[in-house]
Structure 1
Amino acid sequence: MVPCGFSRAPFLPKEVEMASRPAPVPRPDEAAKQLALADLSGELLALMRPGGEVVDANSAWMELLDFEPGMGVDPLRHRLHEDDRLAFEEARRTVLQGGDVHNQVVRFLAPDGRWLELEWSCRLLADHGLLAIRGRDVTEQRQLAREHDRRARHLEQVNDELREFAYVASHDLSEPLRMVTSYLDLVRRRYDEQLDDTGREFIHFAVDGAHRMRALIDDLLRYSRIGGALPDHAPVDLDALLRTVCQDLEETIGEAGATIEAAPLGTVVGDATMLGQLLQNLLVNAVKFRTAERAPHVTLGARRTGGTLVLEVSDNGIGIDAAQLERIFQVFTRLHSRDEYDGTGIGLSICRRICERHGGTITARSVPGEGTTFVVTLRDEAVSA
């Protein structure tokens, strides 16, 4: 048991006066009430002379430590874990020199043979020549904390291994796939006249499959990189970033006859590359899932609420059934066949991961046949003043 101290005095002045006498004296009613209340708290409370003799203690102290007033400190010292005895003596010297010791944890051998972890605080009551000690049993709490830390480390290790596997597998698949695609293109160009319509169709299917596999590998690489990389924290001009993204998507936007309308978005603190990927995926999604009846129209707006940036990206596309609004952010989720809309089913998963890496969220609301709005929030710390 290391002496550690009260942040509040657990005994009345009258108790201290009584405890300083050579022999225990019955407590007055008021002091007894105070100790009864202290017992309900579950804390261990005691008064000890500098030499180590416990002159008064509450029932929690006596029951847990099997230690009663009048006993010296040596039996307690012997039940301390040997690795904690030096800390006990240093803390004791600190208190005797007028200092306080707060929330120091030591291991203590209980009467039933268990090692308890006890958190102690101690203060010298100089006017009375006594040490006021308060403690509590934190064994279960610290065991749970260690188990939580162990599981967190294990989970992080598993996640690291999965990210590494995804990266290595995707990287190793890229080269042979590139070779397959190149040779298929070569066969199509060199032997096109010798192939009949069925042969050309077979080559087309093979090339199309290779291109889809390439897109899937690229998305897997992006997904694994975002999960493992720590995002930068620098001011990002979202308006300038959006202009850059629109320039990169100029061909896609033009072919769809889409229009992009954006209100001022402002500046956030974050990773420009990741946030650019977020905007690009949302715009591509908005343009891709369009109806035949109208040209795509995408609007972007932002507002700040209590220091949180809320970014909304709305389209006038086909919309999403309400039952699917949460599922669309899961990896490899596709709501439509490839004949209707191409894609890997990873784009929105990447968006969610980017938001999470920035301490934010992404959700969607939609009216089937009218359009969808994606709502991105960034936590307070990510928003510039």
Structure 2
Amino acid sequence: MTTLQQFIDQSITGAVSEPVKLSEPVPVEQLPTPALIIDLDLFDQNLAKMQHFLNKRNLGLRCHTKMHKCPIIARKQIAAGAIGVCTATVSEAEIMQVNGITNILITSTVVTKEKISRVIRLAARNPMLQMVVDNIEIASRFNEAASDSGIELGVLVDIDPGMGRTGIEAGAPALSLAKHLVGKCQNLRFDGLQMYAGDCMHLEGFENRRKKYTQVMENGAATKRLLEASGIEVQIFSGGGTGTFDIEPGIGLATDLQAGSYVFMDIEYREIGGEGSDRFNTFEPSLFVLVTAISKPQQRLITVDAGFKSFASDKMVPEFRDVEGVIYHWGGDEHGIIQLTNPSREISLGDKLPMLTPHCDPTVNLYDYYYPVRDGKVEELWPIAARGRSQ
């Protein structure tokens, strides 16, 4: 018999998270499919490009691990210069922290006694942990729990950018919450503000995205000025993402960027367009699903072993990395049906081919391991240790 908390603790400490070294390299062609593969050359290139861009502009990178869910990748990002990581959930933070990552910001609010307790337990072991709050009553609950544990918890006020998802209203309501934190919550340390305009990340057209995002963030800038005029120091202003990485410097508001998808990229991001281009290609796709052609039911159709259980998509379908003139159709949970309209190469039964993911974040959450590939071979597996950690 075990308690629920004991089970949760055991699942965290028992999660496989270190690289699984293979006794000998395995060629990509011999991998079991569907397989989630990383092109390490492009991955490294993306990692370096983002860090170099932000370093030149004195912006911190707070990598969002909700995308890759992998402590190995998080450590590589920090080694490259990131100031820390974000997590969307408490359970993601638990996995990152047990694997030695300390500068963690939990970017989604929690309100229940159970979740607050888990945050406090993390903070008791890690004074660098930070949490967002968007409600005075919940802030008081956090303060009471922190007081009971004899710790100080760093918090950011989460501002609603107008999405109506999470966050407190900009302006006077945010000021009231900040005053409450500073004046009445002795065990909470007000560290700054978070404002993540997620609905702007995938706006198509660079100028359209820049204009809309700049307008949205003005409420955040006004709120920051309001707090500072009231004598409240705002050390951190965290937000933004891959879709606005090259817009943030022109606004001059953020101290750090919560980017995640830049290391992998996907079709959705590619289609939003970049500055001077109808394709967002600053970062190259490095994440692919390797699939096998398994059936040819008709002359102009061929079926691969990857459907809804292998790809996650809001609106788009997967595409082959190296084959044009074909169209992917969902064929069910385990199958994708490829329409051979005018294929740029022949696809035969047994062929293994990489496909671009429509949306990298939820696709990653479908797999247990990455297969990192360099020079056509896999030498180790990277466990996706925070897969399914949605609590």
| Common topology (TM > 0.5) | no
More relative contact order, 1 or 2 (CA 8 Å, 6+ apart): 2
Q: State the TM-score, normalized to the length of structure 1.
A: 0.22
Bigger helix fraction: 1
Select the structure of larger CA radius of gyration. 1
Q: State the TM-score, normalized to the length of structure 2.
A: 0.22
